[in-house]
């Protein structure tokens, strides 16, 4: 059992707290039982004593990434001179509970925030990197807290996994496979939930999920289409045809979920899709020979960054006008593929397949900040940044590793074995409430 307590909160000075919000979250993989107690204290002579409990509630919490893994107790009365909150946990997951108490005034504004246990220190424990092994037909799950492999998920022989996207609630990972399927992983159990067959010859590559988690968009390089999957039923909702020869390999969705941007390697274009109607809005022409490989959109949705493998550049697209804002040249033979943007939108990290390096771009000036060299023969391919922005994880196709970067210093802090030809990578979101 664990006991977490705010201790006596003196509420006699302005601004006065009148209500509380108590939030619980199970950060672990085991269930727990949680007791919530709100208490008042009489402050005789300036001292504190005589606790009186006025709220007592018992709540079961399921493991992380499953339904009912979190609980919010809102509008708890606190218009008292001295009060406190105590949380008692029991069960197998007793030590994995994050507790936050928010003090609010009479109009609901937050006055004070109390992190009783784990909300900040356990953020890394909540994050897992899902790494696809293209030739090994496996998914390696890495704990970003310890940089160790926590499990290996086998895929059917011949799958040839390519890209992975994780739902916004962190509950499922969707994986595109060279054998014309999409595998759906239950991230709570790290087992295959279902397999979605696509038409023969689709050769799916890029995949992105709408912010509300309702649909997955798959870029099919083989037949120049985009498949839209209903994630509630894991069935195909519709198929959007692109011009013949487009050969789309990457896709990203704007933060508001209104548009999907598709990078087409076959005809050097970016297709913009209206996700409300699933029709093509416009097509953005890139310079001939660009061969766009990946695409990432800034957190504010204002720009899309496209890595061009063919001409060693990054195209920056203004999404308001769907025009090219600027082109950032990279060193010759860089061969950029993977691209990811930090959660604060300040930097773009580019994995250079051709030059065994990662380029860091300042997105305010669209200039190169630094280039981080990797061991020769790494052939860096995929990249993902933790949602707290502290680290970047890079898959190295040729030497079967994942490199971990500290984004504050841009130094390599770990190199992890990652199985046979690691390609796509995605990291689970932070789910505190």
**CATH number of 300's domain:** 2.130.10.10
Neighbours of 390 (CB within 10 A): 17
111 and 153 in a single domain? The answer is no
For residue 433, being part of any structural domain is answered with no
Q: What are phi and psi of 170, to 5 degrees?
A: 75, 5
Q: Which residues in the chain show pLDDT less than 50?
A: 44-48, 118-124, 432-433
Please choose, from the candidates 220, 316, 229, 301, the residue with its C-alpha nearest in 3D space to the C-alpha of residue 262: 220
61 and 183 in a single domain? The answer is no
Which pLDDT score, from 0 to 100, does residue 134 have? 93
pTM beyond 0.85: no
Identify the burial level of 346 via C-beta atoms within 10 angstroms of its C-beta, where 0-12 means exposed, 13-18 middle and 19 or more buried: middle
Which pLDDT score, from 0 to 100, does residue 100 have? 87
Which pLDDT score, from 0 to 100, does residue 50 have? 61
- 8 Å CB contact between 27 and 97: yes
Of 96, 117, 138, the residue that ends a domain is: 117
d(CA 323, CA 320): 8
Where is 58: in which H helix or E strand? strand 49-61
Which pLDDT score, from 0 to 100, does residue 1 have? 61
188 and 105 in a single domain? The answer is no
Q: Provide CB contacts within 8 A for 340, sequence distance 6+.
A: 296, 348, 349, 383, 384, 385, 392
Which pLDDT score, from 0 to 100, does residue 360 have? 98
Which pLDDT score, from 0 to 100, does residue 317 have? 98
Query: How many domains in the chain?
Result: 2
44 three-class SS? helix
327 and 208 in a single domain? The answer is yes
Of 117, 150, 180, the residue that ends a domain is: 117
Token pair, residue 214, equals 């309702």
For residue 198, being part of any structural domain is answered with yes
245 and 190 in a single domain? The answer is yes
Residue entry with tokens 């339904």: 67
82 and 192 in a single domain? The answer is no
For residue 432, being part of any structural domain is answered with no
97 and 156 in a single domain? The answer is no
Which pLDDT score, from 0 to 100, does residue 110 have? 83
Q: What is the 3-state secondary structure (H, E, C) of 111-142?
A: EEEEEEECCCCCHHHHCEEEEEECCCCEEEEE
For residue 172, being part of any structural domain is answered with yes
Please choose, from the candidates 374, 406, 409, the residue with its C-alpha nearest in 3D space to the C-alpha of residue 390: 406
Which pLDDT score, from 0 to 100, does residue 430 have? 63
Which pLDDT score, from 0 to 100, does residue 215 have? 97
Instruction: Give me the count of residues in the chain.
Output: 433
170 and 113 in a single domain? The answer is no
- 8 Å CB contact between 274 and 318: no
Please choose, from the candidates 271, 272, 313, the residue with its C-alpha nearest in 3D space to the C-alpha of residue 291: 313
Does a cis peptide bond (omega within 30 degrees of 0) precede residue 101? no
Strands (E), 302-354: 303-308, 313-318, 323-329, 336-341, 347-352
Token pair, residue 176, equals 């595109």
Q: Provide CB contacts within 8 A for 325, sequence distance 6+.
A: 303, 316, 317, 318, 366
Please give the residue range of the domain that contains residue 11.
2-117
For residue 203, being part of any structural domain is answered with yes
283 and 384 in a single domain? The answer is yes
d(CA 69, CA 91): 14
Token pair, residue 300, equals 């504010």
Exposure string of 237-263, with b = 16+ CB inside 10 Å and e = fewer, is bebbebeeebbbbbbbbbeebbbbbbb
What CATH number corresponds to the domain at position 10? Answer: 2.60.290
DSSP state of 94: G
- Dmax over CA atoms of the chain, in Å, equals 83
196 and 228 in a single domain? The answer is yes
What's the angle, vertex CA 327, arms to CA 425 and CA 340, rounded to 5? 15
Which pLDDT score, from 0 to 100, does residue 331 have? 94
Which pLDDT score, from 0 to 100, does residue 48 have? 45
Distance from the Cα of residue 152 to its chain's centroid: 20
Of 87, 117, 147, the residue that ends a domain is: 117
For residue 408, being part of any structural domain is answered with yes
Is the backbone of residue 168 left (phi > 0), alpha (psi -120 to 50) or beta?
alpha
Which pLDDT score, from 0 to 100, does residue 118 have? 41
- 8 Å CB contact between 407 and 379: no
What's the angle, vertex CA 264, arms to CA 252 and CA 220, rounded to 5? 75
206 and 345 in a single domain? The answer is yes
DSSP state of 273: E
215 and 299 in a single domain? The answer is yes
3-state DSSP helix/strand/coil % of the chain, to nearest 5: 0, 55, 40
């Amino acid at each position: 059992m664990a006991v977490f307590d705010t201790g006596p909160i003196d509420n006699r000075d302005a601004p006065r707290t009148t209500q509380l919000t108590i939030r619980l979250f199970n950060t672990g993989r085991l269930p727990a039982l949680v007791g919530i107690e709100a208490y008042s204290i009489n402050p005789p002579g300036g001292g504190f004593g005589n606790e009186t409990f006025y709220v007592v509630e018992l709540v079961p919490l399921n493991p992380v990434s499953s339904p009912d893994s979190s609980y919010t107790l809102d509008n708890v009365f606190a218009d008292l001179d001295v009060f406190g909150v105590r949380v008692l946990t029991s069960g197998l997951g007793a030590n994995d509970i994050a507790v936050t108490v928010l003090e609010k005034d009479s109009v609901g504004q937050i006055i004070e925030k109390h992190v009783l246990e784990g909300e900040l220190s356990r953020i890394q424990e909540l994050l897992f990197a899902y790494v696809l092994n293209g030739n090994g037909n496996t998914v390696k799950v890495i704990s970003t807290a310890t940089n160790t492999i926590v499990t290996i998920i086998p895929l059917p022989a011949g799958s040839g996994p390519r890209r992975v996207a994780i739902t916004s609630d962190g509950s499922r990972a969707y994986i595109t496979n060279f054998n014309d399927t999409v595998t759906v992983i239950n991230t709570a159990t790290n087992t295959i939930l279902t397999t979605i067959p696509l038409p023969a010859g689709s050769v799916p590559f890029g995949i992105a999920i709408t912010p509300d988690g309702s649909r997955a968009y798959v870029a099919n390089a083989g037949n120049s289409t985009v498949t839209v999957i209903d994630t509630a039923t894991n069935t195909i909702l519709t198929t959007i045809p692109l011009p013949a020869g487009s050969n789309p390999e990457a896709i990203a969705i704007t933060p508001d979920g209104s548009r999907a941007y598709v990078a087409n390697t076959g005809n050097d274009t970016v297709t913009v899709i209206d996700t409300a109607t699933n029709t093509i809005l416009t097509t953005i022409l890139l310079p001939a020979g660009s061969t766009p490989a990946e695409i990432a959109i800034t957190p504010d949705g204002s720009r899309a960054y496209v890595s061009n493998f063919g001409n060693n550049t990054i195209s920056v697209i203004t999404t308001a006008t769907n025009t090219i804002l600027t082109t950032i040249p990279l060193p010759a033979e860089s061969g950029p593929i993977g691209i990811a943007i930090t959660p604060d939108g300040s930097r773009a990290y580019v994995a250079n397949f051709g030059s065994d390096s990662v380029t860091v771009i300042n997105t305010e000036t669209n200039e190169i900040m630094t280039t981080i060299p990797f061991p020769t023969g790494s052939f860096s391919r995929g990249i993902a940044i933790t949602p707290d922005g502290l680290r970047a994880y890079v898959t190295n196709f040729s030497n079967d590793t994942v490199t971990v970067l500290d984004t504050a210093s841009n130094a390599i802090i770990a190199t992890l074995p990652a199985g046979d030809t690691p390609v796509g990578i995605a990291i689970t979101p932070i789910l505190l409430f």
